[in-house]
Amino acid sequence: MAKVLVIAEHEKGLVKKLTLNSLEFARQYVAKTGGSIEIGVLGADVAAVASALTEYGAAAIHVANHDDLAHPIATSWAKVVADLATAVGADLVCMSASSLGKDVLPRVAVRLNAGMASDVVAVVDGGQGLCFRRPMWAGNLTGDVAIDSAVRVISVRSSAFDAAQPVGGHSAIQNFKADPQLARARVRYVGFEGVASSRPDLTEATVVVSGGRGLKDRFNQVTEPLADLLGAAIGASRAAVDDGYAPNDYQVGQTGKVVAPQLYFAIAISGAVQHLAGMKNSKVIVAINKNADEPIFKVADYGLVADAFVAVPELVSKITALRS
Amino acid sequence: MKILVSAKRVSDPNAKLAVSTDGKWIEGDVEYVMNYFCENAIECALQLVEEHGDIETIALGIGDSDETARFIRQGALARGIDRGILVSADEQTTDSDLIARIYAKVVAREQPDIVLIGKQAVDGDSNQVGQLLAEYLGWPQATFASKVAIEGEEVVVTREVDGGLETLAMTMPCVITADLRLNEPRFAPLAGIMKAKKKPLEELELDDLDLGEAKPKVRIVKMLTPDGRKSGGLVKDVDDLVGKLRGEARVI
Ligand SMILES: Cc1cc2nc3c(=O)[nH]c(=O)nc-3n(C[C@H](O)[C@H](O)[C@H](O)COP(=O)(O)OP(=O)(O)OC[C@H]3O[C@@H](n4cnc5c(N)ncnc54)[C@H](O)[C@@H]3O)c2cc1C
Ligand SMILES: Nc1ncnc2c1ncn2[C@@H]1O[C@H](COP(=O)(O)O)[C@@H](O)[C@H]1O
């Protein structure tokens, strides 16, 4: 029987969808091992987050409210997560492989003397017990790994799991007395420069419009009208970010975000393995590129060889016409 | 001041990879390159030296002895890192945790003020070593760094996180993991390649490090090549695309 602790992720008092993907991973794990799921909510003033999670079948929701958890300083967060895991007797701790999860979870693993598998996409029977499946080598290979420690730590690749659906009932909400010891952490939070956007989150959007280096300083001019029309998030290749046409938060790929929307547009993106690693599990891929030999066409369901500066505006006007 | 950087070799990401017959590793005649994020870490250390002077830099590589020694010399010492440490170990059975425990032992010997390594090894793609090490040492960390500055007693780091850029200030000693936008790694100058041959490179075995049990916690049971995605071919023009997205794929 397993006891799984899922750490909730939230922003401005709202539960991030990533949390529901982690919960779905936890459900699939518990379906194989038996046992129960507990949810941990860390932060300052997070009561609303906890209340929003009561219908997902968790045995309990543990709220660690503390001013020193307002900013996600890895040292303090890891201590509180590990303390909570020990208090509830969790043998598996998980969170999404977001920048926060990546930052915090390895430190949790050390505190719990646990092995950790990153970016897990499935729980599989490995013959000699359960294994965790994870992409390696930019997704060109996958590895089924076994973790030989009593406690296990997992970062969940959210695009590989559906969002858990509410199951009704009402999980008990309990306070956990957090002791983040921030003063000892020798680290000071200086600030955050956010990318303001009214668009959906890249990792949550059902449509993603991504642009590459070929769009140059007309990146926004080309991607925005199509994204607006389709209610899409905007993504970018690393080259487009490196060259300053798009913010770093837009990067899709091995070292950026991993997305799997219903519809993905790769516009003026060549299709390097590192980019494919972040989008090749999208349901439908459209590639628009002026060079027919680019590798992006090998993964695209619909490839259009054309100049993006002409084709994308035309696409926008034809879809608009079709809808009116 | 002392900075410890990383020098890990990885198989060329653009090479076609096959799974070995035992299903536990990759096979064949693979070309190796320096892990890109280690190059960013090395470059960052060299720039800090140029800016502040009086910093000793050391590169640590863990892996197959001859090959890793070559990467430490060519990738780190030739670029300007002062000296190297090589720990021989089997790459196939060292998980991030064991790597971090090896780092911790080297840190205990060398007492660096900053450990500056890559955010991720692009073979295993784990993104763990820096964070594990920081916790083993009880040090602060700043992962995914895109800017690093030493300002008096503090190291100020800008981090690439979901939603934007975060800035942290840490007191030393601390751990930093480099992201790709931290800098443009330089090429090793010809003179550097000559000099690197004479720079000190200490060779250690796992047994020299007093690790206790040198066992990984995470084991690869089986590797697979995922099914490739099939291309759907080309459309004629924008009208054809719109028609298919609506009629066939039903996504618009
Ligand atoms: C360690 C490492 C990690 C990396 N991680 C990532 C990652 O996470 N994500 C990522 O994306 N990359 C990543 N990269 C970079 C990757 O290798 C490629 O360099 C990058 O994806 C290329 O971006 P691009 O396709 O926009 O640019 P390019 O390869 O320069 O391609 C530009 C494309 O635009 C087309 N084009 C130009 N003009 C037009 C036009 N008018 N109309 C239509 N098409 C046009 C060209 O035909 C070309 O195909 C990583 C690299 C390394 C080494
Ligand atoms: N064998 C190794 N030798 C030296 N440094 C390593 C080794 N393995 C990992 N590292 C460092 O740890 C970072 C993170 O690795 P990982 O957690 O395995 O993705 C890498 O970018 C390297 O800087």
Compute the distance from residue B35 Cα to the ligand 1 centre, in Å. Answer: 19
pLDDT higher than threshold 80 for residue A126? no
Nearest by CB to A99, from B14, B161, B249: name it.
Answer: B161
pLDDT higher than threshold 80 for residue A47? yes
Pocket test residue of A252, A267, A275 for ligand 1, highest count of atoms within 8 A of CB: A275
Work out which ligand 1 atom sits closest to the CA atom of A212. 26
Q: Residue A13: what pLDDT? A: 94
User: pLDDT in tens for each of the 252 residues of chain B?
Assistant: 999 999 999 998 888 888 998 888 888 778 899 999 999 999 999 999 999 999 999 999 999 888 899 999 999 999 999 999 999 999 888 999 999 999 999 999 999 999 999 999 999 999 999 999 999 999 999 999 999 999 999 999 999 999 999 999 999 999 999 999 999 999 999 999 999 999 999 999 999 999 988 899 999 999 999 888 899 999 999 999 999 999 999 999
Is B95 within the bounds of a domain? yes
The amino acid sitting at A238 is R
| High-pLDDT (> 90) share of chain A, % | 95
Cα(B56)–Cα(B45) distance, integer angstroms: 9
Residue tagged 């090429």 (tokens): B187
Ligand 2 atom 23: residue of nearest CA: B118
Structure token digits, residue A87: 């208090």
Is B239 within the bounds of a domain? yes
Nearest by CB to B231, from A241, A300, A315: name it.
Answer: A300
Is B122 within the bounds of a domain? yes
The reported pTM is 0.97
Is B39 within the bounds of a domain? yes
Nearest by CB to B126, from A118, A127, A273: name it.
Answer: A118
Work out which ligand 2 atom sits closest to the CA atom of B125. 19
Cα(B175)–Cα(B155) distance, integer angstroms: 10
Q: Which domain holds residue B148?
A: 2-247
B136: closest CA among B99, B169, B168?
A: B99
DSSP A83: H
Cis bond upstream, residue B173 (ω within 30): yes
B178: closest CA among B3, B2, B5?
A: B5
Q: What is the distance in angstroms between the Cα of A312 and the nearest Cα belonging to chain B?
A: 8
Q: Residue A17: what pLDDT? A: 95
In degrees, rounded to 5, the angle at the alpha carbon of residue B114 between the alpha carbons of residues A178 and A78 is 15
B27 touches chain A (CB under 8 A): no
Compute the distance from residue B181 Cα to the ligand 1 centre, in Å. Answer: 15
A192 touches chain B (CB under 8 A): yes
pLDDT higher than threshold 80 for residue A241? yes
Predicted-complex ipTM score: 0.96
Q: Residue B176: what pLDDT? A: 99
pLDDT tens-digit map of A18-32: 999 999 999 999 999
Q: Name the domain count of chain B.
A: 1
- Residue B96 belongs to a domain with what CATH number? 3.40.50.620
In chain A, which ranges are E strands?
2-7, 10-11, 14-15, 35-43, 60-65, 92-96, 115-120, 122-125, 130-136, 141-147, 152-156, 172-175, 187-194, 207-211, 233-236, 263-267, 284-289, 302-305
Q: Residue A134: what pLDDT? A: 98
Q: What is the distance in angstroms between the Cα of A131 and the nearest Cα belonging to chain B?
A: 8
A240-267: burial string, b at 16+ Cβ within 10 Å, e else: bbbbebbbbbbbbbbbbbbbbbebbbbb
CB contact under 8 A, B132 and A110: yes
pLDDT tens-digit map of A185-234: 999 999 999 988 889 999 999 999 999 999 999 999 999 999 999 999 99
Q: Residue B79: what pLDDT? A: 97
Q: Residue A195: what pLDDT? A: 84
Q: What is the distance in angstroms between the Cα of B158 and the nearest Cα belonging to chain A?
A: 9
Is B252 within the bounds of a domain? no
CB contact under 8 A, B241 and A103: no
